[in-house]
Chains A and B, each alone.
Chain A
Amino acid sequence: DAKTTQPPSMDCAEGRAANLPCNHSTISGNEYVYWYRQIHSQGPQYIIHGLKNNETNEMASLIITEDRKSSTLILPHATLRDTAVYYCIVKNTGNQFYFGTGTSLTVIP
């Protein structure tokens, strides 16, 4: 049940902003957008989530379009340690997380 579409891979220069897109055109009104990432050989790590307003925390910013059909995760100053697979997940609160294939981000020195 693929509720989100992400590019399979992206590159970003170290120190630049990494902008990771996610399409979720069938999102319903009470579904949130979540982002997790998985660094090689580790378990996934929570990054950020939002409903319709843009969100920012110490890790990243989440920009959700007004129609909520797509969003962008922004890592403002990518470092080599940000190389990971990034998962965009859409779900209702209380439902379970189903991870897709994500975007493999490579930060290049």
Chain B
Amino acid sequence: DAGVIQSPRHEVTEMGQEVTLRCKLISGHNSLFWYRQTMMRGLELLIYFNNNVPIDDSGMPEDRFSAKMPNASFSTLKIQPSEPRDSAVYFCASSPDNDREKLFFGSGTQLSVL
């Protein structure tokens, strides 16, 4: 298995533009997590899905952020409109139902909003 796959690896955009980050889960995994990492705040949990249903989105910063799981293997995190303070590394992670305590992380998307 290729592991959790995120795209793009790097994204540079201008303030006000829409940004879409993508994540492909490991086959057979049922839970999906989006995290954001900055120097100031470390790793922050944004949202968690189980079986395609959002379970906890309390970490989503504001209405500019939205996340979806259109199917069991794929998720998107959208920021519209983007702001410079959204610059960070965004990670997604997945875990299987029979071993939820092991999160498998992707390589992350480095987002820079100018």
On A, residues with C-beta under 8 Å from B are 32, 34, 36, 41-46, 49, 87, 93-94, 96-101
Task: Identify the stretch in B13-21, B61-69, B101-109 within 8 Å (CB) of chain A at 4 or more residues.
Answer: B101-109
A-B contacts counted at CB < 8 A amount to: 43
Q: A43-B91, A44-B43 are in contact. Are A94 and B103 (CB under 8 A)?
A: no
B56 to chain A, nearest CB (A): 6
Cβ of B101 and Cβ of A93 under 8 Å apart? Answer: yes
Across the interface, B42 reaches (CB within 8 A) one of A32, A42, A101, namely: A101
Q: Given contacts A36-B103, A97-B103, could you give 9 more A-B pairs where the C-beta distance is less than 8 Å? A: A41-B108, A43-B91, A44-B43, A45-B105, A46-B104, A87-B43, A93-B100, A97-B45, A99-B43
Cβ of B108 and Cβ of A100 under 8 Å apart? Answer: no
On B, residues with C-beta under 8 Å from A are 4, 33, 35, 42-43, 45, 48, 56, 91, 93, 100-108
Cβ of B103 and Cβ of A42 under 8 Å apart? Answer: no
